[in-house]
Structure 1
Amino acid sequence: MNKSTFGKLFTVTTWGESHGKALGAVVDGCPAGLELDESHIQKYLNRRKPGQSRYTTARKEGDQVEILSGVFEGKTTGTPISLMVRNMDQRSGDYGNIAYSYRPGHADFTFDSKYGFRDYRGGGRSSGRETLGRVAAGAVAIKLLEALGISFCTYTKAIGPAEITEFHPEEIENNAFYMPDKKAAEKAGAYLEQCMKEQDSAGGIIECRIKGVPPGLGTPVFEKLDAMLAQAVMSIGAVKGVEIGEGFHVAQMRGSQDNDGFAASEKGIVKTSNHAGGIMGGISDGSEILLRAAVKPTPSVSQPQATVTDKGENISLEIHGRHDPVIVPRAVVVVEAMCALTIADALLGNMCARLDKVQEFYKK
């Protein structure tokens, strides 16, 4: 398996399968001296772990992280940080009926086409449980970014037709959907109850706001910051679309409406609006970065679905086992983690962009 590593300077390599003994990540490139322990990482893993409400899978996993290397006396050493979470509640027998058939909406067919072999127990490396390593690594990146004054606010913008109309950050942790709008959360609950009654699932939209990012991150051609953020978030299995700033709405706007003006202030040059979502020409402009991710409905539904076996025989398949009727709430922290990993990598990469800054760093 190749391409399990993300980043250039601040890198993460995830490993493990949904029904293997453990999953984890190796973070390399984190500067020495950052205060870090399991408790910081654990609070992020708790946001994605299963069994939080009736709207998530009933799989019972504590998802307790262990730091195996790279930390000494509560601080990072500058060497690779190895993180591990053991699987405790696998039920591989739930997947016996798909050992020789392809689940609609999953990676079964494409994975088999590429490798000629697949771990059918929950999807193996294609499972959403792989994101556990991303979140653990993302927690390290967030800790680094906090030390630089960069903060995140990530939440569910919509589940199905239930979309937020108000924004109250304190409400995000008060409902099962991580929505900053109590009324929208209630509508989302009613919508999901109907989906579950009909043995169906739902998708939604996740929004991530990043404050404190300095101007100058990203490059003007192939590694634009918005392109790298899109790649990072699109690498999450359930994400089918990414928007920055006005996103697809720009197609309906005029240039005079979409352009962000500039003004001089006591803080220096600032923008008068933020339609660009904090990134212009592929480079951060110092204003809030605004990103949205479209998450597809959970593909595992109990309704009969048409598919084929690996021998090409037409069959009808009903998927059983423990599955989320919506994965949006648990994916909120995954989107945040991937954005954090991208920003951390871009920050380190930007340190050598200007000669005067390099000279300043090495000045004796």
Structure 2
Amino acid sequence: MPANTFGTCFAVTNFGESHGPAIGCVVDGCPPGLALNVSDIQPELDRRRPGTHRYVTQRQEPDTVEILSGVYEGHTTGTPICLLLRNMDQRSQDYANVARTFRPGHADYVYLQKYGLRDPRGGGRSSARLTAPMVAAGAIAKKWLRERHSIGFEACLTQIGELPILFEGWEHARHNPYFAPTSDTADIERYLEALRKSGDSCGAILRVRATAVPVGLGAPLFDKLDAEIAYAMMGINAVKGVEIGAGFASAAQHGSQHGDAMYPAGFGSNNAGGTLGGITTGQNLEVRVALKPTSSILIPRPSIDLDGHPTEVVTKGRHDPCVGLRAAPILEAMLALVVMDHALLHRAQCADVRCALAPIAGALPGEWPASA
């Protein structure tokens, strides 16, 4: 199966299956000399790890990362870094009842049509479990970008199902299990409890941003930074929509409102989401992502079997009622991988470029969205 590698200068090749012995990735292109050990990666995996509270899948995976290559005496060597995560809590028997049927909303049907066979255990390669290696790779990118350029990444839940979440501050998203930017999560818990009892699922909207991004990353036309951000986000399981900056709200704006005015002290707004012509402006990169409802639910759904006959499918096992609850670290990781790749591409092509015009400040008060 091709198309398992993401990135150009910082290339991440993802491997494994949900119920195989292990999953992992090979990171090729990391600059040498970066201080790196397990403690730099494990906290990011712990943020994404399943089984952390009652409203996510209870599959108990420690996701303990092993660094198999590319690091010597605590520093990257410039050679491929292999990261391994062993699967410890597979329950393949949970999928015996769907081996001969197709689960609505899952990739079962198209995998069989394309490859002539499929692994029904947890979805195989189409499982969201395969986001864990990308989070591990993203941890490396985050560290390099933080140490070299002071770039930071953060994500938060802004809506769960029909329930909008009030943005009070990023600090709240860092200290509750739902990555919600609010001090009171009672409404979220009541909503999730009702959803859990019904056997149904819901979608979510999340916001992810990169801060202290330097001006000049990206490229025109087909390698625009915002285009590659959208590509990266759409590669995450269950993502069905991506907005950059003002996004779809741009359609209702006038040009006099949408274009971000520039002043000596900085940009007056950030409707562009941190890029112009596919190149970073020095403002925050602002992205919003919509995720569909979890397809594995306990409510019977019409489907067909391998012989094309009508049947009914109930997906038993351990599943997140809302995949958005654990998506924040994944979105951060994928955004970091895009920025890392373009930072290295920029260094390769434009490291000697000098501009007489000094970059203006990233933003003034009132930068979109105002709640930031």
- For Structure 1 versus Structure 2, the TM-score category normalised by the shorter chain is over 0.9
Structure 1 residue 176, shift from structure 2 partner? 2.3
Structure 1 residue 311, shift from structure 2 partner? 1.1
Residue by residue over 1:322-341, the C-alpha shift from the partner in whole angstroms, topping out at 9 and shown as x without a partner, is 11111112111111111000
8 Å Cα contact 2:158/2:167 also seen in 1? no
Residue by residue over 1:28-68, the C-alpha shift from the partner in whole angstroms, topping out at 9 and shown as x without a partner, is 10001111111111000001111010111111111100000
Structure 1 residue 310, shift from structure 2 partner? 1.6
Residue by residue over 1:121-151, the C-alpha shift from the partner in whole angstroms, topping out at 9 and shown as x without a partner, is 0000000101111111111111111112100
Query: In structure 2, how many angstroms separate the alpha carbons of the residues matched to 1:353 and 1:30?
Result: 17
Structure 1 residue 247, shift from structure 2 partner? 0.5
Aligned-residue sequence identity (percent) comes to: 48
Structure 1 residue 153, shift from structure 2 partner? 1.5
Q: What's 2:368 paired with?
A: none
Q: What's 1:105 paired with?
A: 105
Q: What's 1:282 paired with?
A: 278
Residue identity opposite 1:233 in structure 2: M
Q: What's 1:4 paired with?
A: 4
Give the match's secondary structure for 2:334. Answer: helix
Q: What's 1:236 paired with?
A: 236
Query: Are 2:52 and 1:52 equivalent residues in the alignment?
Result: yes
Query: In structure 2, how many angstroms separate the alpha carbons of the residues matched to 1:354 and 1:175?
Result: 41
Residue by residue over 1:154-178, the C-alpha shift from the partner in whole angstroms, topping out at 9 and shown as x without a partner, is 1111111222223322211332211
8 Å Cα contact 1:160/1:188 also seen in 2? no
Q: What's 2:328 paired with?
A: 332
- With normalisation by structure 2, the TM-score equals 0.93
Give the match's secondary structure for 1:142. Answer: helix
Query: Are 2:70 and 1:70 equivalent residues in the alignment?
Result: yes
Structure 1 residue 352, shift from structure 2 partner? 3.5
Query: In structure 2, how many angstroms separate the alpha carbons of the residues matched to 1:146 and 1:26?
Result: 21
Structure 1 residue 192, shift from structure 2 partner? 1.4
Query: In structure 1, how many angstroms separate the alpha carbons of the residues matched to 2:249 and 2:303?
Result: 36
8 Å Cα contact 2:45/2:63 also seen in 1? yes
Q: What's 2:302 paired with?
A: 306
Query: Are 2:180 and 1:219 equivalent residues in the alignment?
Result: no
Structure 1 residue 182, shift from structure 2 partner? 2.6
8 Å Cα contact 1:214/1:285 also seen in 2? yes
Query: In structure 1, how many angstroms separate the alpha carbons of the residues matched to 2:168 and 2:221?
Result: 35
Residue identity opposite 1:224 in structure 2: K
Residue by residue over 1:217-246, the C-alpha shift from the partner in whole angstroms, topping out at 9 and shown as x without a partner, is 111101110000000010001100000100
Q: Which has the larger displacement, 212-221 or 299-308?
A: 212-221
Q: What's 1:361 paired with?
A: none
Give the match's secondary structure for 2:121. Answer: coil
Query: In structure 2, how many angstroms separate the alpha carbons of the residues matched to 1:195 and 1:34?
Result: 45
Residue identity opposite 1:263 in structure 2: Y
Show structure 1 runs of 5+ residues with no match.
359-364
Residue by residue over 1:308-354, the C-alpha shift from the partner in whole angstroms, topping out at 9 and shown as x without a partner, is 01210100111111111111121111111110000000111112333
Query: In structure 2, how many angstroms separate the alpha carbons of the residues matched to 1:355 and 1:320?
Result: 54
Structure 1 residue 215, shift from structure 2 partner? 1.1
Q: What's 1:42 paired with?
A: 42
Show structure 2 runs of 5+ residues with no match.
355-372
Residue identity opposite 1:134 in structure 2: M
8 Å Cα contact 2:168/2:183 also seen in 1? no
Query: In structure 1, how many angstroms separate the alpha carbons of the residues matched to 2:40 and 2:187?
Result: 33
Structure 1 residue 355, shift from structure 2 partner? 7.6
2:349 is aligned, of 341, 353, 356, to 353
8 Å Cα contact 1:41/1:65 also seen in 2? yes
Deviating runs (4+, > 6 A) in structure 1?
none
Structure 1 residue 113, shift from structure 2 partner? 1.1
Q: What's 1:149 paired with?
A: 150
Aligned-residue RMSD, C-alpha: 1.2
Query: In structure 2, how many angstroms separate the alpha carbons of the residues matched to 1:241 and 1:282?
Result: 19
Query: In structure 2, how many angstroms separate the alpha carbons of the residues matched to 1:71 and 1:329?
Result: 33
Q: What's 2:161 paired with?
A: 160
Q: Which has the larger displacement, 154-163 or 287-296?
A: 154-163
- With normalisation by structure 1, the TM-score equals 0.95
Residue identity opposite 1:152 in structure 2: F
Q: What's 1:83 paired with?
A: 83
Give the match's secondary structure for 1:79. Answer: coil
Give the match's secondary structure for 2:329. Answer: helix
8 Å Cα contact 1:233/1:335 also seen in 2? yes
The number of residue pairs the alignment matches comes to 353
